[in-house]
């Protein structure tokens, strides 16, 4: 378990005794509770990030929607021809 730090049994007992002397018997449960809560929150956050990344990787991206082609803009010559061809209409009550 403590192979990473290369600690033996006697060294672990010495460290625990020093912690007991420094913080006292009344503070140890509070410290352990805070440490446990912190580890729990860290694991929860790590799990949520991992799930979010895996969900994002699993989703297939939808192809972008294509807009319908727009008709070409009329040229100035074409608009002059259209205005020349229109005939003004008179209202039914007036005579032309």
- pLDDT at res. 85: 56
Residues of the chain with pLDDT under 70: 1-4, 74-96
Dihedral sign, CA of 45, 50, 51, 55? positive
Residue identified by tokens 């009550």 is: 93
User: Of all residues in the chain, what percent carry a pLDDT higher than 90?
Assistant: 22
- pLDDT at res. 90: 63
Query: pTM of the full predicted structure?
Result: 0.45
Where along the chain do its domains lie? 25-58
- pLDDT at res. 48: 96
- pLDDT at res. 67: 77
């Amino acid at each position: 378990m403590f192979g990473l730090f290369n600690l033996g049994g006697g060294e672990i007992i010495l460290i625990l005794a020093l912690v007991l002397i420094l913080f006292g018997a009344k503070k140890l449960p509070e410290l352990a509770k805070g440490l446990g809560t912190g580890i729990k929150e860290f694991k929860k956050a790590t799990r949520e990030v991992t799930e979010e990344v895996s969900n994002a990787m699993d989703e297939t991206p939808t192809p972008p929607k294509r807009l319908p082609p727009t008709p070409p803009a009329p040229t100035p010559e074409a608009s002059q021809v259209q205005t020349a061809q229109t005939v003004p209409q008179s209202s039914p009550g007036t005579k032309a």
